[in-house]
A and B are shown apart, each in its own frame.
Chain A
């Protein structure tokens, strides 16, 4: 052997010296790589008579030093190589380039080299024979490339800024690290379990009451998951009114996170969506408009503030939100179950897909168990024992003379018009009249009369004298607040409504919070009801009531929240003997229902909220034609007791009517409301006799009919001359008192089980609709 090459990597690696016998020098049958420990035996090989050792200071590998491809194949049969692999195979290992960033503020002032952007135009001569930067063809090519990769309009963010949250120290189990928050900031003790709850659940609904700091809890939880590396890109959706609040809270509570507020004209928004960030903050409506323009619909984290915004399955915002894929999905809302379990089901269909199904709508007790692991709700009463008291006051006012005249005229003319519409009348028509009447109760524009304004002027003097401030809410910014603003000029009222831009909104809120002369803030319930922090005020006036009590409560919580130090007074103004009084009576019941269902998730049928019938009943004198009952909810065939339970109360009445028809009765359904205690009138004529009965239906799935209902029906029967017999039908069951009372009376009690048996005996074809 003429020679061999010994590679010596460095003094520190002398124990692992290797050498290779080059194929060109080898008299031996095969080239080989020998470890130093094998050197003695190699030298003992009869074919090797000379070893030429070349010591290299660095492990420069070269073509001369390496095996030929064919040799590699023969020596490493397990390695599958392509021709393209060979250049890299033979490349030496070299010192790699470094990258990184200085985060320390003291050194940040020193110039730090920015990472290079792709160099699209160089000083090279282009294929057209001129400098590329001068060549219009190349420029056009560049523009196309920029358009393709979105460079031109995309803000650049250093990737090392994006990994900064991960490099930050952990926040600690109790968030007690001195570097968790800025000086003066800390979580309340009850907020720590809330943050932990979110961090530990990839699907979660935080339903804390308003004012307990859901936003802060969500932001801190987001910080944790970003620091854990579980999220690199997140999306926050919130109502428009609270975008500035979120922005401010993110700035203060998560300074290391890069936030991209996606607002403005569409081209700007598209650019923002394409710019790197930790969190994209936008509104549900903006997402709906941009959903098809998003570079990706995949996020690691999605926070839905006021998640009830996606309660309606067919709404555009719901459809758009559902297209967002996220590993971690958190919903925030103080009132997640505003009216119906169906809405909760819709909400959870995004937060935790597959958890709830449509049949849960009639089974609140199942819902409670199903959502328990993913749902956390605390009430102020439980956790904020030192929050100032909230005193609710109801003031009943008399309409002024001019208001009363205008009111009666509008009501009378409106009802006549509606009755003339006959079958064409819809609930929307009724709604329009109700709205008009409510507006007159607030303010009568022809005379500028308003009993509510008079009341406000009386009390605002005292409020201003005490250095306190007030919010005045109405659902009619144009038809009420706009008129009142000049009349309240003495108190420098500010006006916050949906027509303001984000910037204008922020200015209004800043002025109100910081300018002592601004005593009054007039707010649209819709625009100002969610998320705002207005602790500077401690008086709230509701000029009118929103249909949903939750909306009013949300508005009140703008002032009754953390940071409020004074007693909060909430005054709701009603006018007597008006539509407001009728609405108030319904809302009292609804509030009761809300308390039970939301906070205890009781087994009440939550569908009995404000129904179409209730709206019709608000206008006495309205003649409503017999309704039609085609319903998409009715199954083609009642095959299980659950099918009966799934019906609405009106559908249930119709089912009973069809059953009576099936057994030979002629039936007539009474009006949906003001039915005089009778739902169905039925008669059957025989050869010699005629039988007339009255039927009352009580759709109480899993409920028990109390004896008072039987008594009431008996009273109805006694008053009627045209009926000889009564039937009380329920989808639930009767109390023993009912049976005791009905014994010996011409009253039949049909409970759910018996009804289902009758339906099996007399099958009804529902495919034609009820």
Chain B
């Protein structure tokens, strides 16, 4: 039986009240059909945590508390994990499959990094079918090979599935979930 390919889409989302964060991962097949969905209960930093952690708060919650736990509990074995925030690439050491960060060309903000800092590996991928706008794909600086390893799968999938679209589904689903179950508020 042919082995199926599964992609994970990982994101960190604000709660609807804006007072916390929920990590979520959607596993789909190559056509975007959902195979598994996992999310954390909200992590709500206190007013004290926010100044204490400063800018590290979101990455800390996103990677250390949510992402690492989510990839650990998945039932499906992923072929590729796609994230929509650069800081989530830091989950890569916990994964034994490529992890890439994608952003739409034209929406990506180029940040000049200090000389001492190595630019993360990044490449531009055009949609083979022309249906979607091109994307930039980046990988963790310590796992530059992820770019080349994931490229065939990315291109193949990107021809019929907009790789940024599943993140919209995740955000909408979490809002709906909060309506169904107060624990996700």
| CB nearest neighbor in B for A105 | B35
Q: Does B179 contact A (CB under 8 A)?
A: yes
Closest partner residue, chain B, to A256 (CB atom): B34
Least Cβ–Cβ distance between A158 and chain B, in angstroms: 9
Taking A76-B47, A79-B47 as contacts, is the C-beta distance between A166 and B36 under 8 angstroms?
Answer: no
Within 148-163 of A, Cβ neighbours of B (below 8 Å) are at: 159-160, 162-163
B111 within 8 A of A: no
Instruction: Identify which of A89-97, A201-209, A446-454, A633-641 touches chain B.
Output: A89-97
User: Counting CB contacts under 8 A, is B143 at the interface?
Assistant: no
**8 A Cβ contacts from A36-52 to B:** none
Shortest beta-carbon distance from B54 to chain A in Å: 6
A95 CB contacts on chain B under 8 angstroms:
64-66, 68-69
Min CB distance B85 to A, Å, is 15
Encode contact with B along A30-73: 1 for CB under 8 Å, 0 otherwise: 00010100000000000000000000000101000011000010
> Given A13-B59, A94-B65, A96-B66, A159–B35 Cβ distance below 8 Å?
no
Which residues of chain A have C-beta atoms less than 8 A from B90's C-beta?
12
- Indicate whether A117 reaches chain B with its CB closer than 8 angstroms: no
From known contacts A95-B65, A98-B39, infer whether A168 and B176 are also in contact, taking CB-CB under 8 Å.
Answer: no
- By a CB distance below 8 angstroms, the chain B residues around A232 are 176, 179-180
Given A16-B55, A93-B49, decide whether A163 and B36 contact each other with a Cβ distance below 8 A.
no
From 6 to 40 in chain B, residues with beta carbon under 8 angstroms from any chain A beta carbon are 23, 26-29, 31-40
For B37, list chain A residues within 8 Å (CB): 100-101, 103, 160, 163, 167
In the complex, what distance in Å separates the CA atom of A179 from the CA atom of B35? 14
Which of B34, B53, B73 has its CB near the most chain A CB atoms (within 10 A)? Answer: B34
Inter-subunit contact B38/A99 (CB<8 Å):
yes
Q: Once bound together, how far apart are the Cα atoms of A100 and B31, in whole Å?
A: 21
Contacts of B166 in A (CB 8 A): 169
The answer to the question of B107 belonging to the interface, with a C-beta cut-off of 8 Å to chain A, is: no
A98 touches B65 (CB 8 A): no
Q: Is A276 an interface residue (CB 8 A)?
A: yes
Q: Is the CB of A689 closer than 8 A to any CB of chain B? A: no
Partner of A72, one of B48, B66, B179: B48
The answer to whether A96 touches B54, judged by C-beta atoms less than 8 angstroms apart, is no
Pairwise interchain contact A228-B180, C-beta atoms closer than 8 A: no
Interface residues of B in 171-185 (CB under 8 A from A): 172-173, 175-177, 179-181
Contact A167 B39 (CB under 8 A): no
B52 within 8 A of A: yes
In the bound complex, what is the Cα–Cα distance between A221 and B63 (angstroms)? 38
Q: Assuming A90-B48, A168-B33, is B39 touching A229 (CB within 8 A)?
A: no
Instruction: Indicate whether B151 reaches chain A with its CB closer than 8 angstroms.
Output: no
Q: Which residues of A contact B34 (CB under 8 A)?
A: 103-104, 164, 167-168
Question: Is residue B96 within 8 Å, beta carbon to beta carbon, of the partner chain?
Answer: no
Tell me how many residue pairs across A and B have CB atoms closer than 8 Å.
Answer: 151
CA distance A163 to B173 in the complex (A): 6
B76 surroundings in chain A (CB, below 8 A): 102, 104, 107
Closest to B49 in A: A93
Known: A16-B54, A99-B38. A93 touches B165 (CB 8 A): no
Residues from chain B with Cβ under 8 Å of A487 in the complex: none
Question: Of all chain A residues, which has the CB nearest B179?
Answer: A232
Quick check: A18 and B39 within 8 Å, CB to CB?
no
- A89 near B75 with CB under 8 A, answer no
Interface residues of A in 106-127 (CB under 8 A from B): 106-107, 110
Max count, chain B CB within 10 A of own CB: residue among A160, A163, A179, A228: A163
Nearest CB of B to A675, in Å: 64
Q: Are B42 and A169 in contact (CB under 8 A)?
A: no
Q: Does A178 contact B (CB under 8 A)?
A: yes
A100 to B23, CA, bound (A): 11
Q: Is the CB of A102 within 8 A of B36?
A: yes
B120, CB-defined interface residue at 8 Å: no
* Beta-carbon nearest neighbor of A72 in chain B: B48
Is B47 a contact partner of A89 (Cβ separation < 8 A)? yes
CB distance from A36 to the nearest CB of B (A): 11
Whether a CB of chain B sits under 8 angstroms from the CB of A576 is no
How far, in angstroms, from A325 to B2 measured CA to CA in the complex? 49
- B24 closest partner in A (C-beta): A100
Q: A10-B64, A107-B35 are in contact. Are A166 and B40 (CB under 8 A)?
A: no
CB neighbours (8 Å) of A85 from chain B are 46-47
Check if B55 sits within 8 Å of A98, measured CB to CB. no
Give B35's nearest chain A residue, CB to CB.
A104
Q: Complex formed: what's the CA distance from A89 to B48 in Å?
A: 6
Given A159-B181, A232-B176, A18 contacting B52 (CB threshold 8 A): yes
Q: Distance in Å from the Cβ of A242 to the closest Cβ of chain B?
A: 29
- B72 shortest CB reach to chain A, Å: 9
Q: How many residues of B contact A (CB 8 A)?
A: 58
Complex CA gap A100/B34 in Å reads 12
Residues of B contacting A72 with CB < 8 Å?
48
Residues of A close to B53: CB separation below 8 A: 9, 16, 59
How far is B70's CA from A33's CA once the two chains are assembled, in angstroms? 33
From the candidates B4, B33, B65, B180, name the one contacting A159 in the complex (CB within 8 A). Answer: B180
Q: Which chain A residue lies CB-closest to B32? A: A169
A93-B45, A98-B73, A159-B180 known; A103 and B40 CB under 8 Å? no
Question: Please, which residues of chain A bring their CB within 8 A of the CB of B56?
Answer: 9, 13, 16
CB distance from B143 to the nearest CB of A (A): 14
Write out the residue numbers on chain B whose beta carbons fall within 8 Å of the beta carbon of A94.
65
Which A residues touch B45, using CB under 8 A? 93
Given A88-B46, A89-B47, A159-B180, A100-B66 contact (CB < 8 Å): no
Interface residues of B in 126-185 (CB under 8 A from A): 161, 165-166, 169-170, 172-173, 175-177, 179-181
Please determine whether A91 and B65 come into contact, CB atoms closer than 8 angstroms: no
A107–B74 alpha-carbon span in the complex (Å) = 12
Instruction: Let me know if B43 is at the binding interface, CB within 8 A.
Output: yes
Residue pair A99, B169 in contact (C-beta under 8 Å): no
- Please give me the residue from chain A that is nearest to B55 by CB atom: A16
Within 8 A of B (CB), among A687-729: none
In the complex, B97 has a CB within 8 A of chain A: no
Query: Which B residue sits closest to A100, measured CB to CB?
Result: B38
Indicate if the CB atoms of A98 and B31 lie closer than 8 Å: no
Contacts of A7 in B (CB 8 A): 52
Q: What separation, in Å, do the CA atoms of A178 and B76 have in the docked complex?
A: 23
Does B65 lie within 8 Å of A93, measured CB to CB?
A: yes
CA distance A160 to B169 in the complex (A): 13
Q: What is the bound-complex CA distance between A61 and B37, given in angstroms? A: 32
- Asked if B106 CB lies within 8 Å of chain A CBs, one says no
CA distance A178 to B23 in the complex (A): 30
Closest to A169 in B: B32
Chain B residue numbers with a CB within 8 Å of A159 are 177, 180-181
Question: B31 and A178: CB pair below 8 A?
Answer: yes
Interface residues of B in 57-113 (CB under 8 A from A): 59-61, 63-66, 68-70, 73, 75-76, 90
- Note all chain B residues with C-beta closer than 8 A to A18: 52, 54
Which of chain A's residues have a CB closer than 8 A to the CB of B32? 169, 179
Least CB separation from A101: chain B residue: B37
Query: Quick check: B33 and A33 within 8 Å, CB to CB?
Result: no
Kindly list chain B residues whose C-beta atoms are within 8 Å of the C-beta of A110. 75
Of the A-B pairs whose beta carbons lie under 8 Å apart in the complex, a sample of 14, sorted by A's number, is A35-B54, A61-B52, A72-B48, A81-B47, A89-B47, A90-B48, A102-B75, A103-B37, A159-B180, A159-B181, A163-B37, A167-B34, A178-B31, A179-B32
Beyond A85-B46, A90-B48, list 17 extra A-B contacts (CB 8 Å). Answer: A9-B53, A9-B56, A16-B55, A94-B65, A95-B69, A96-B65, A99-B41, A103-B37, A159-B177, A163-B173, A164-B34, A166-B169, A166-B176, A167-B34, A167-B37, A168-B34, A229-B176
Q: Which 10 A-B pairs have the closest CB atoms?
A: A100-B38, A229-B172, A104-B35, A169-B32, A159-B180, A96-B40, A167-B34, A166-B173, A89-B46, A163-B173
| B interface list, Cβ under 8 A from A | 4, 23, 26-29, 31-49, 51-56, 59-61, 63-66, 68-70, 73, 75-76, 90, 161, 165-166, 169-170, 172-173, 175-177, 179-181
